[in-house]
Chain A
């Protein structure tokens, strides 16, 4: 039996007392006095079963009760084969620069082009992939949490199309900055809040973790134990689309409060295994960020930077997303689960059942002991 174990093995010592109880039972058994037992009476002795069924049942019930105290357990191995479900967050830059037209003859903005690429990417993905949307400029906004409802995602994407003039589009466009680090952090926070309950971080823990990301690059990150044991990152990725400068610190505008350092965030993503793809239109990627994205010796790369020219067209965008789709291919996974199964209840019920059966047998006229 795989993974056999006893919760309280010392309880088995009680089995040693069984012979004592049997002898005690035998000695205290009710006996009828009789003037003389003659050897010929041996012909009327009951058979083995009738003679010993009491002792047999007592031993079985006692053993069941002792075993239920010891509580034996075994691990039930469950093998599941399934296709990996990816958790993808798409972060879209909606700063002022994204409002520029793709070409002089076109009324389509760069932002719309990016949205078309994301639209196509959503269609490429499997139905059970979780996809979330974050739009950002000077600040980040969660457009859609992780969901596999593609219609919802597309509806959310339409909200930030230039032609729709939605309130979110106007608000985000008004900022003008490129706060990519905030957007990536928001995506990571969404991942953390979607973890199973035993690994899920509270709001305070996420906020505390953010404090560590504010420092200079190279600061020692304090990753909560819950995240370390969550096997986070398997199949998780953040895809950042921006045409602004990707740099570790904010430089373009002033805002109150500190911002997370992108290099720190990339380090965190490396540590927890979340992949990170940057689609940088114009190629203004800071060296520190580039270095952070480089794989260290013996470790896989955290992701990849796709640098495109400013003269971007729809084909190019979709090509990049196709490439990301290939990089984030859903794998066939096998999950082996060892689930502990304790047998206390079964044994206790068995003992109780045997006890009831014993009482029933004792009440039969042919097996009644007097």
Chain B
């Protein structure tokens, strides 16, 4: 699958400390951080042979190292019912694939976490060549969700417990309770957080703003909770203002817990620019 966007992923915060390892990835490869020893296999470079180990054991052993990386990208994708409204999930997939491709191309591990009311799929970060295909497959085979709500906090908690540091990109519509994020994110060091989080708000047009409506009475049904509500959209500008206020509130709440946001309407033509601008602005804001 060819990634539709070309993203330039930039970290806002430097590695947490100056010690080696902060740049270390999770895979073995060419790097400086020692990973372990293994028996010599034909084809291994003689420069990797650990002679001390050979002397101790009487057999040839070679050293293995961690692959160097700038960050571990974790794609945290919402696959709840509301994300299957319109073309939102297709866009989520495009964003995730593009981000994964950008990370893996620059030799950075990339992982995937699919969640709804709980964690549904977990692919640990890896920079292996097959990781891209794993991520694509996992997104294409995203499980059908019958949950009646979306819970972001358990997914973040799950990722934080398993990764010492990462750059998390949350791709969601954020129709969830954001109050519980405050406790979760407050525990992290705000100055040099180990887990950087970025929020990409994937919104359908009707979530963003209504246009071309002559007004009238509508009965809306929440695709996730099934809750129904009759609305008088005679003056749909009020509805648009309400949507705008609600989105601004969500962005503000996320910003309050250190998560920067970019709103991405499905029909927007400048998705790539918006995401790249978000990363660039975060970097600029650090100074």
Contact = CB atoms under 8 A, between A and B. Distances in A.
Given A40-B242, A44-B238, A31 B219 contact: yes
Interface stretch (A112-120, A269-277, A360-368): A360-368
Contacts of A37: 220-222, 225, 227-229
Q: Looking at chain B, what size class is its interface with the partner chain?
A: 20 to 34
Given A31-B221, A33-B85, A44-B238, A365 B229 contact: no
B204 interface: yes
A370 to B, nearest CB: 5
Interface residues of A, number: 26
A29 B229 CA distance: 12
A154 to B, nearest CB: 82
Interface stretch (B108-116, B209-217, B274-282): B209-217
B160 interface: no
Contacts of A29: 219
A38 interface: yes
Interface stretch (A45-53, A88-96, A170-178, A336-344): A45-53
Contacts of B206: 34-35
A240 B85 CA distance: 104
Contacts of A368: 214-217
Interface in B52-93: 82, 85-86, 88
A42 interface: yes
A35 B224 contact: yes
B148 to A, nearest CB: 12
B231 A45 contact: yes
Nearest to B227: A37
Contacts of A41: 220, 229, 231, 239, 242
Contacts of B173: 35-36
Contacts of A253: none
Looking at chain B's contact residues, is the secondary structure mostly helix, strand, loop, or mixed? mixed
B195 to A, nearest CB: 26
Contacts of B186: none
B180 interface: no
B219 A44 contact: no
A32 B242 contact: no
Contact of A36 (B207, B219, B228, B232): B207
A335 interface: no
Contact of A32 (B220, B227, B234, B246): B220
Contact of B82 (A35, A46, A50): A35
B225 to A, nearest CB: 8
Interface in B175-226: 175, 204, 206-207, 214-225
B232 A50 contact: yes
The 5 tightest CB contacts between A and B, nearest first, are: A36-B175, A46-B232, A368-B216, A35-B82, A31-B221
Given A29-B219, A36-B224, 6 more contacts: A31-B219, A31-B221, A40-B242, A41-B239, A45-B230, A46-B217
8 contacts: A34-B206, A35-B207, A36-B207, A37-B220, A42-B229, A44-B231, A44-B242, A369-B218
